[in-house]
Amino acid sequence: MSSSWRLILLWTLTLLAAGFARAEQSLDTIIIDAGYDKQTKIAIVPFQQGPELAHLQPISDIVSFDLARSGQFAPADDENMLSYPRTKEEVFFRDWRILGVEYLVIGNTKTDMLGNLSVDFRLFDVFNEREMVADVVSTSRDKWRDAAHRISDQIFEAVTGIPGAFSTRILYVLALNAGSPDASFRLEMADVDGERARTLFSSNEPIMSASWGPDAKRVAYVSFETGRPAIVLQDVATGARELLTQFSGINGSPAFSPDGQRMAMVLSRDGNPEIYVMNLADRSLRRLTRNQVIDTEPSWSEDGRSIIYTSDRGGRPQIYRQDLSNNIVERLTFQGDYNARARLLPGGKHLVFVHRNNGIFHIAWQDLERDDVRVLTATSLDESPSLAPNGTMLIYATQDQGRGILAVVSIDGRVKYRLPSSAGDVREPAWSPFIEAL
């Protein structure tokens, strides 16, 4: 494995377009290490973009940056292109083969007087001289970036066979003046490339543990706005908030079930932190753990039939899995004396979690069948891993020069990028599920 962190691309996008009033709050995305030896060479030809759209960031740039962040693609530089085809007829595969380009994308953008946007694009396999995708993305003009990310998703899936997750979003907590008496906290939501950050909730009291509903329309988090931790539900579109639980003691770690009907949480109302599952329809509670130790950080299996959580019932925090039908508990982690806040990968055979090794906290991956543990991160104080819905990457919180930043690592540990914020300390990222509607 290459030990040097190559700064291959510094891409600070300060979007000043109208409608993105909070652009100054966006995260700066910096690719640190696109660690694959053989990246797929792709050329995204600049799309035709009329003068009325000239102030917007070119769609080809947004798509190129999406694909570059995956670590699997090396987008070609515009300046090296021998031609800028707009139509299928203008494509000369030989021009692209000379450059070693394996895949080619061309496209055009159109708007009408009503503010509708349509982007047609085509993906070609250069060596086989074959058109792989031809599609039109139609939406409203204010969803310019969404249209670009949808195109990235389709290209990624057509080439790799894995659904792209570029149209997803992240939640995170932005702490201003962290550690001082006038600290304030914001729950932020941004595109997964760090752009279009906006504030869902702000408070002078801490905000923690944000998580997404399975439809990405609702979020849940812990807010100290009442002076004590409470679990809050919030509708993303309307901003409507509801205090879900305010029991005495801890109200923490909200986690929606995969069907969105239930929520796992931690309550210490009976004197000790225990895992509960709430039926969201009637608010009834089922208690899953019953002991004198710390049980916390529940997370659901994909099928909703079991919950994994952190418990120090063995003396140190380790990960356990409890079957909801028969309450049988199984310990999952054995290497090291601190394993916490685990998440199961799609398929349920692998786990990512916070792992302490020689006093340093890293994000680790474990194969549950072979008990094989791999440390994915090399920074320190790494925490809060959250998986992309396609399982290829995870976002986590770490520190850089004393500052809280977000970082992304591929599930094999080879691709890394960082998302610092110039606004303050950022932490506790939560990667959204796939988002259906454009």
Minimum distance, C-beta of residue 208 to other proteins, in the bound complex (Å): 6
Cβ-based nearer residue to other proteins, 206 or 348: 206
Beta bridge partners of 202: 186
Please state, in angstroms and rounded to a whole number, the distance separating the CA atoms of residues 26 and 13: 9
Q: How many residues does the chain have?
A: 438
Minimum separation from the CB atom of position 374 to other proteins (A)? 19
**Closer to other proteins at the Cβ: 234 or 311?**
311
* Burial readout 424-438 (b: 16 or more C-beta within 10 A, e: otherwise): bbbbbbbbbbbbeee
Find the shortest distance in angstroms from Cβ 182 to other proteins. Answer: 12
306 vs 318, beta carbon nearer other proteins: 318
**Smallest gap, in angstroms, from Cβ of residue 421 to other proteins?**
16
Q: Which residues contact 247 (CB under 8 A, 6 or more apart)?
A: 267, 268, 269
CA distance 198 to 189: 5
Q: How far is the CB of 310 from other proteins (least distance, A)?
A: 6
Backbone angles phi, psi at 234, to 5 degrees: -140, 135
Instruction: For the CB of residue 359, give the shortest distance to other proteins in the complex, in Å.
Output: 8
- Toward other proteins, which CB reaches closer, 3 or 180? 180
Q: Which is nearer to other proteins, 228 or 374 (CB)?
A: 228
Nearest CB to other proteins, comparing residues 253 and 421: 253
Q: Are 260 and 282 in contact (CB under 8 A)?
A: no
What's the closest the beta carbon of residue 172 comes to other proteins, in angstroms? 13
Q: How many CB atoms within 10 Å of residue 396?
A: 26
Q: Which residues bind other proteins (CB under 8 A)?
A: 178-180, 183, 206, 208-209, 224, 227-229, 249-250, 252-253, 266, 268, 271-273, 292, 294, 296-297, 310, 317, 338, 340-341, 354, 356, 361, 381, 383-384, 399, 402, 428
Q: Which is nearer to other proteins, 12 or 204 (CB)?
A: 204
